Chain A
Amino acid sequence: MRALVIYCHPSSQSFTAAVRDVVVDKLRKAGAATEVIDLYAEGFDARLSPEEWACYIDGPKADCPRMPHIDALKAADTLIFVYPTWWYGMPAVLKGWLDRVLLPDVAFHLPPDGPITPGLRHIKRLGVFTTCGASWWLTRFIGAPGRRTLLRGLRLLCARRTRTAFCAHYSMDASTADSRARHLRRVAVSMDRLIGRPRDGAAETAPARA
């Protein structure tokens, strides 16, 4: 298993960092080759520039400065995002990562006379771990745009039977030490489900139905 973890929070003491630690710990214990990209620590520029836009359609060139990220993405079979939800979506720097790294010929293909086709068929597991200031109800009412962007939009580009995990601590501003500890346990369980046996083998162990 090769896992790429995209982590995004400005403060190293945040609860989001604790969530990342649980995720990475689970991956390492499962023997996965794990790479963590810390977007804030790298000072990742969120803005897709006019120059990048001008040659966007051509896909990345060999000397593209984001090649290390692109290579890590291409090599991964497990992709995990850990971030705080701000304004019902991912932080700008993470959205910028999608804009600047999920390029044509990497994440998807644009045939001249057909619809977009997926380019991340090698991704078989997709995990999203986040915190929301808003309650579950309010987030659902707004339609959880951040979750949809990743678990549906990005999911469309991954393998057909991609296994997904989503785990959020809602009402973060009213969280307690207890609720946070409980959430970290939920993250651990969710990770176990995500990186357990691949779905292809699940049929062998599933109990037969009468």
Chain B
Amino acid sequence: MTRAMVVHAHPCDESFSAALFGRTVETLGARGWQVDSCSLYQEQFQPVLSAAERRGYHDMDGNTGPVQAYVDRVTAAEALVLVFPVWNFGYPAILKGFLDRVFLPGVSFVLDGGRVRGNLRSIRRLAAVTTYGGDRLRATLVGDPPRRSVMRHLRAVTHPRARARYLALYDMNRADADRRAAFLSRVERSMERL
């Protein structure tokens, strides 16, 4: 059975983001994925990389110590799905910290003679499910940093032939029930085909 890790980053259970997370986990489970659902807020993930972690960052024998359980979950996954709201044109801090602390040298990448090489070869499916307060034009003007981060950067450390998809609902502040429902179904259809 194939494992999918679904990472969620929103503080509130009643949020639309939580509904997206629920639908994602449910759909993947129904399609036969073995789902590892990881809600960073519920697990009280501490996102701040400490001074000690920074000093030991490049020590590939010991750097995973403080976050070993998360490293094991990421490396066991064949699909990685991130469900988060875009805040200030970026990931919520708790998700950014997940990358800072867990995606370490030796885990997600290796430095090979000064060059960075992706190391999450087991991940063959990558997806992001997200919502933006601003509209698409505004996000595009800014250069849509979270889209780039997922589609270029995370994509670059997964399997070379990994398939990546980015599902976004823009202009969330003014989205009515119909648009939200349509987006939920879009996420469901996409996860069915993952």
Q: Which A residues lie at the B interface, using CB under 8 A?
A: 10-11, 40, 45-50, 52-54, 86-93, 95-96, 98-99, 102, 110, 115-116, 133-134, 138, 141-143, 145-146, 148-149, 152-154, 156, 171, 173-174
Contact = CB atoms under 8 A, between A and B. Distances in A.
Interface in B70-99: 87-94, 96-97, 99
Contacts of B133: 116
Interface size class of B (residues with CB under 8 A): 35 or more
Interface of B: 10-12, 15, 41, 47-51, 53-55, 58, 87-94, 96-97, 99-101, 103, 111, 114, 116, 133-135, 138, 141-146, 148-149, 152-153, 156, 173
Given A11-B54, A90-B96, A95-B90, A152 B153 contact: no
Contact of B135 (A89, A115, A143, A171): A115
Contacts of A110: 173
Contact of B51 (A11, A141, A156): A11
B89 A149 contact: yes
20 contacts: A10-B49, A10-B50, A45-B48, A48-B92, A53-B12, A53-B15, A95-B92, A110-B173, A116-B134, A134-B116, A138-B116, A143-B145, A143-B148, A149-B90, A152-B142, A152-B143, A153-B142, A154-B88, A156-B141, A174-B114
A52 B10 CA distance: 12
A156 B143 CA distance: 12
Contact of B145 (A116, A146, A171): A146
Contact of B111 (A11, A52, A116, A173): A173
A48 B89 contact: no
A153 B92 CA distance: 15
Given A50-B41, A110-B173, 7 more contacts: A10-B50, A48-B92, A91-B100, A95-B93, A134-B116, A148-B89, A174-B114
B37 to A, nearest CB: 18
A57 B141 CA distance: 24
B22 to A, nearest CB: 17
A93 B93 contact: yes
Contact of A46 (B48, B89, B153): B48
Instruction: Select the residue from A89, A102, A174 with max chain B CB neighbours within 10 A.
Output: A89
A91 B49 contact: yes
Nearest to B89: A153
A29 to B, nearest CB: 30
Q: Ordered nearest first, which 3 A-B pairs have the shortest CB separation?
A: A92-B97, A96-B93, A153-B89
Given A86-B100, A142-B156, A11 B47 contact: no
A148 B90 CA distance: 9
A95 B141 contact: no
Contacts of B12: 50, 53-54
A92 B47 contact: yes
A102 B88 contact: yes
Contact of A53 (B11, B135, B141): B11
Contacts of B94: 46-47, 92, 96
A80 to B, nearest CB: 17
A148 B133 CA distance: 17
A99 B84 CA distance: 13
Contacts of B50: 10
Contacts of A86: 49, 99-100
Nearest to B154: A87
Contact of B88 (A115, A153, A171): A153
